[in-house]
């Protein structure tokens, strides 16, 4: 009888432990690629014992999956690139507002949702890169000035179909209104020697090859390309330093509205914003840490200091529809 009772108690304890272990698992849907998140998740598991399961994919597809799954979704945390995507996910009811003094401390207010439904985790600048053999930095000043006649047949752009450019134009609308922004975009299009490229990397390679002299790209694409080929004649220029500053965007995450493991998801999100994780989170993709207490990777730091636009990045989502329509009217393909 004693053996039976002992066995029963042991069985209950094992079952309880198993249920607890299962409950501790965090499920993440990530539009950030596996090689950029896996090392961090492994570090978190090593530190806490909490297992993280994840799937990766395109932001739009993952968002639609969460919506379709509804209350039955497995996702506890949604990670994606671009503040416009984060804003849209929140507006679609996919993300829940959370209270966290840690996140409010680690993530500056302009890099998180005003309702705390999502938080930036890394920052990238969308800036000007130029060919050092053909352009002097003294010739450059602002994004808007790239529409001047002296840049005729010298400006290269990525397609307007990419959310990064949609967010850039949305920020212009938020700062300057639609009328002025449309003038700028039309002036850019008039200065293109070739059609917009499918990627920032292709635009950068074209600048290096002399197809054009300047391009607007995300900083990490510049970093990746120069890391592979440091001899390329490319350099970064920080525009709008006397006005509103460089366009900044964020990758980030939010706890899903139907999270089964909300407490653990919040803990993971807090950890990702901490000094323990921030350096690695940003360095893996040559981005800037969102946490102001954490220094960027030496490669990124070497690009120099600059003034970023302090606008709340949620504006990129708010004005995204207007930006897409405006780019279409301006002939930006």
Q: Which residues are annotated as a binding site for Fe cation?
A: 220-221
How much helix, strand and coil, in percent to the nearest 5, is found in the chain?
50, 15, 35
User: What is the C-alpha to C-alpha distance for residues 132 and 153, in angstroms, rounded to an integer?
Assistant: 17
Asked if 261 and 141 touch (Cβ cutoff 8 Å), the reply is: no
User: What is the C-alpha to C-alpha distance for residues 299 and 227, in angstroms, rounded to an integer?
Assistant: 9
- Residues contacting 2, CB < 8 A, separation 6+: none
Token pair of 8 as six digits: 């029963």
Binding residues: 220-221
Task: List the helix and strand counts (H, then E) for the chain.
Answer: 14, 9
User: What is the C-alpha to C-alpha distance for residues 234 and 131, in angstroms, rounded to an integer?
Assistant: 5
Q: Is 153 left (phi over 0), alpha (psi -120 to 50) or beta?
A: left
């Amino acid at each position: 009888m004693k053996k039976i009772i002992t066995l029963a108690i042991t069985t209950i304890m094992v079952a309880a432990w198993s249920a607890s272990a299962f409950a501790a698992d965090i499920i993440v849907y990530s539009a950030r690629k596996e090689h950029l998140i896996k090392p961090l998740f492994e570090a978190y598991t090593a530190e806490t014992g909490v297992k993280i399961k994840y799937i990766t994919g395109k932001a739009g597809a993952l968002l639609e999956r969460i919506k379709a799954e509804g209350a039955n979704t497995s996702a506890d945390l949604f990670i994606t690139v671009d503040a416009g995507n984060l804003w849209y996910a929140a507006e679609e009811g996919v993300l829940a507002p959370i209270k966290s003094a840690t996140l409010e401390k680690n993530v500056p207010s302009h890099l998180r949702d005003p309702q705390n439904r999502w938080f930036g985790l890394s920052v990238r600048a969308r800036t000007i890169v130029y060919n050092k053999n053909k352009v002097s930095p003294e010739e450059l000043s602002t994004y808007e000035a790239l529409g001047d006649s002296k840049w005729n047949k010298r400006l290269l752009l990525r397609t307007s179909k990419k959310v990064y450019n949609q967010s850039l134009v949305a920020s212009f609308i938020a700062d300057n209104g639609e009328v002025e922004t449309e003038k700028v975009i039309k002036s850019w299009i008039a200065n293109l020697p070739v059609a917009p490229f499918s990627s920032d990397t292709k635009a950068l390679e074209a600048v290096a090859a002399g197809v054009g002299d300047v391009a607007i790209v995300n900083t990490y694409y510049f970093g990746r390309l120069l890391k592979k080929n440091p001899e390329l004649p490319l350099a970064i220029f920080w525009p709008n330093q006397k006005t509103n500053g460089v366009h900044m965007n964020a990758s980030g995450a939010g706890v899903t509205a139907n999270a089964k493991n909300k407490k653990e998801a919040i803990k993971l999100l807090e950890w990702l914003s901490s000094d323990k994780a921030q350096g690695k989170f940003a360095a893996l993709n040559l981005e800037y840490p969102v946490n102001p207490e954490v220094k960027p990777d030496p490669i990124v730091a070497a690009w120099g200091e600059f003034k970023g636009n302090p606008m709340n990045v949620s504006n990129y989502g708010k004005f995204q529809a207007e930006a897409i329509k405006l780019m279409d009217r301006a002939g930006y393909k």
